[in-house]
């Protein structure tokens, strides 16, 4: 039962949306919420205001301050415009790029945002149609813009939409800009939003020319063009999961020499309803099922999938028995890091100034692969904006050659500053061709990496807790883990705890505490055990979830032992889950 104080507060807030400052359709929907006997929907729509998380503004579409609609999108755009006008007051012309995905209302929100920017005297480069998130990041840098936005809710279910805000380096905003933009947004009243009065001459449409420039630059990433020339007919089934990947990935792959790209016609349909999947997320095996079926029918070698805004990349490969297995995000990143470093070393392109980046919840094996080859790997918070932040700090001093996160995100290039499924697809196809050139399947290559650098297995588990009560439950769970630290996981003693809220690490072996050097705090807890198991716990910044990231270690002496070592890792992960109570 909701408290009467909250209901009064929410009701008063909702009634302000009945004024003629809001359009008739909005007023009608708000009145319907007020009239309903069950006040749950009313409370969920108005109990708080949407805020920027690790991925920007994201929420369920509908009326209300806690929903994505033309007013929350408009307020975000007006607030961003106000901030840009202050930050770049000396510039003659401030410029932004606007992109959007396939979601319901995405084009409308993009066009409204372009109108608002232009009404504020800001030049808006609006893509002619849906485009991948990484191409928006690319265009910001290419056109020397000060900011940009992408209308998307990434891989979330169809009822969601969102708003990613980018800065002049093509990366999503980080402190202090994110908090400053939110402060500006919070100062915006509905009557301040310049929905009308836009200057059409300040809106320029972007199209095929930008696509061609992007693909041309992506081709420079290739490390084994000879292998692709010999094995470019590798069968690759690709599905965009109804999203923006279809606008660029097949073309980019073909431009790089891959001649046998097989589509999944049902999932090429651009639709915010995502009719063939429950969740348009390559992390979800069910989303990949149609592509795997197509690969089996066509005797293809690989399966690729991207999420609706085409920043996440998922891959499936054939195992030693010819069956398809889906790689997790850590495995994909391990292979990409290994391949880039190995080929650059073979080509004499490692100078000692190269570096890679991973997030704190990503497999530590990527660090082992990097450092054993003399390449430093930096660690940062979850969210690609933090990887981009490291790139910004080291620009002109060191050479970025790759980085990523376990949630199916990887970036191989420095001319984009967000995860890029397009370059990941090109390079992963190249890995398969290169492995074939070396007498291996891609599955055997993965096993060989484990033999050389050590075996690891990772599993991510998300516990969903919807709404206000869910947020309270997640907060209580995090408090419990902090107040009652875990002492043993899967029979192994916990020897190190890292708490990124306190920015403190506790070394239990020597009973010492030290400071974690990070740019800001984050609600993440990590446990490390004597036998190398690592557990990370964090609430999602963009979804109603608390996430658990589990990594267990072992030794793999040969490919022949892989199945038994893998099975033992599965059992260990099961025990870890029991010990965590999930």
The residues annotated as belonging to the active site are 154
Strand order in the sheet with 236-239: 261-263, 236-239, 302-306, 313-318, 324-326
Asked whether the beta carbons of 149 and 274 are under 8 A apart, the reply is no
Angle between helices 442-453 and 329-346 (to 10 degrees): 80
Q: What are φ and ψ of residue 436, in 5° steps?
A: -60, -40
Pairing relation of β-strands 261-263 and 236-239? parallel
Environment class of 208 (CB within 10 Å of its CB; exposed 0-12, middle 13-18, buried 19+)? exposed
Which residue from 49, 215, 201 is spatially nearest to 132, judged by alpha carbons? Answer: 215
Q: Sign of the CA dihedral 345, 348, 351, 357?
A: negative
34 within 8 A of 14, measured Cβ to Cβ? yes
On whether the CB atoms of residues 284 and 259 are closer than 8 A, the answer is: no
Cα 202 to Cα 93, 94, 116, 424, distances in angstroms: 10, 10, 11, 34
First-to-last C-alpha distance (Å) of the chain: 27
Give the single-character DSSP code of 560: G
Characterize the bridge pairing of strands 492-499 and 525-529: antiparallel
**Quick one: DSSP state of residue 205?**
E
Q: Are 194 and 78 in contact (CB under 8 A)?
A: yes
Q: Residues 314, 240: contact at Cβ < 8 Å?
A: no
Residue with tokens 């409370």: 43
Of 430, 97, 411, the C-alpha closest to 252 is 430
Cα–Cα distance measured from residue 370 to residue 519, given in angstroms and rounded to the nearest whole number: 23
| Neighbour count for residue 403 (Cβ, 10 Å) | 31
Q: Provide φ and ψ at 539, rounded to 5°.
A: -75, 145
The runs of H, that is alpha helices, within 53-105 are 70-87
């Amino acid at each position: 039962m909701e408290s009467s104080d909250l209901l009064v507060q929410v009701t008063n807030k909702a009634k302000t949306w009945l004024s003629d400052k809001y359009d008739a359709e909005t007023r009608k929907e708000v009145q319907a919420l007020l009239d309903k006997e069950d006040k749950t929907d009313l409370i969920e729509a108005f109990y708080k205001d949407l805020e920027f998380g690790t991925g920007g503004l994201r929420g369920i579409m509908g009326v209300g301050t806690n929903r994505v609609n033309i007013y929350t999108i408009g307020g975000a755009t007006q607030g961003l415009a106000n901030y840009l006008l202050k930050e770049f007051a000396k510039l003659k012309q401030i410029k932004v790029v606007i992109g959007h995905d396939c979601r319901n209302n995405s084009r409308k929100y993009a066009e409204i945002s372009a109108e608002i920017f232009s009404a504020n005297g800001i030049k808006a480069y609006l893509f002619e149609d849906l485009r991948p998130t990484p191409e928006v990041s690319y265009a910001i840098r290419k056109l020397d813009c000060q900011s940009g936005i992408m209308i998307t809710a990434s891989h979330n279910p169809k009822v969601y939409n969102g708003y990613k805000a980018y800065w002049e380096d093509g990366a999503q905003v980080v402190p202090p800009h994110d908090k400053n933009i939110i402060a500006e947004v919070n100062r915006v009243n509905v009557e301040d939003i310049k929905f009308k009065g836009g200057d059409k001459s300040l809106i320029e449409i972007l199209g095929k020319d930008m696509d061609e420039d992007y693909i041309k630059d992506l081709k420079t990433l290739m490390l084994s063009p000879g292998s692709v020339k010999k094995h470019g007919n590798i069968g690759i089934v690709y599905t965009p999961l109804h999203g923006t990947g279809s606008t660029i990935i097949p073309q980019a792959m073909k431009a790089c020499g891959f001649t046998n790209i097989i589509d999944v016609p049902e999932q090429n349909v651009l639709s915010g309803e995502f009719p063939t999947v429950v969740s348009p997320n390559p992390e979800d095996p069910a989303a990949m099922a149609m592509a795997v079926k197509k690969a089996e029918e066509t005797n293809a070698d690989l399966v690729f999938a991207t999420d609706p805004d085409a920043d996440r990349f998922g891959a499936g490969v054939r195992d030693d028995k010819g069956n398809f297995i889906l790689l997790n995000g850590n495995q994909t990143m391990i292979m990409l890091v290994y391949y880039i470093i190995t080929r650059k070393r073979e080509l004499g392109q490692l100078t000692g100034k190269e570096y890679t980046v991973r997030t704190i919840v990503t497999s530590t094996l990527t660090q082992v692969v990097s450092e054993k080859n003399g390449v430093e790997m930096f660690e940062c918070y979850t969210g690609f904006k933090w990887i981009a932040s490291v790139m910004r700090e080291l620009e002109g001093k060191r050479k970025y050659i790759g980085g990523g996160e376990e949630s199916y995100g990887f970036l191989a290039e420095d001319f984009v500053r967000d995860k890029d499924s397009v370059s990941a697809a090109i390079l992963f196809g190249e890995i398969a061709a290169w492995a074939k050139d070396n007498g291996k399947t891609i599955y055997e290559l993965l096993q060989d990496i484990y033999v050389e650098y050590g075996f690891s297995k990772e599993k991510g588990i998300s516990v969903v807790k919807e709404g206000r009560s869910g947020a309270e439950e997640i907060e209580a769970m995090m408090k419990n883990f902090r107040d009652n630290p875990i002492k043993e996981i899967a029979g192994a003693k916990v020897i190190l705890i890292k708490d990124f809220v306190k920015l403190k690490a506790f070394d239990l072996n020597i009973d010492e505490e030290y400071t974690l050097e990070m740019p800001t705090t984050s609600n993440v807890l990590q446990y490390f055990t004597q036998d190398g198991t690592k557990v990370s716990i964090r609430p999602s910044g963009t979804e109603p979830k608390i996430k658990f990231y589990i990594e267990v270690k072992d030794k793999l002496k040969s490919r022949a032992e892989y199945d038994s070592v893998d099975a033992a890792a599965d059992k260990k992960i099961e025990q870890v889950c029991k010990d965590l109570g999930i």
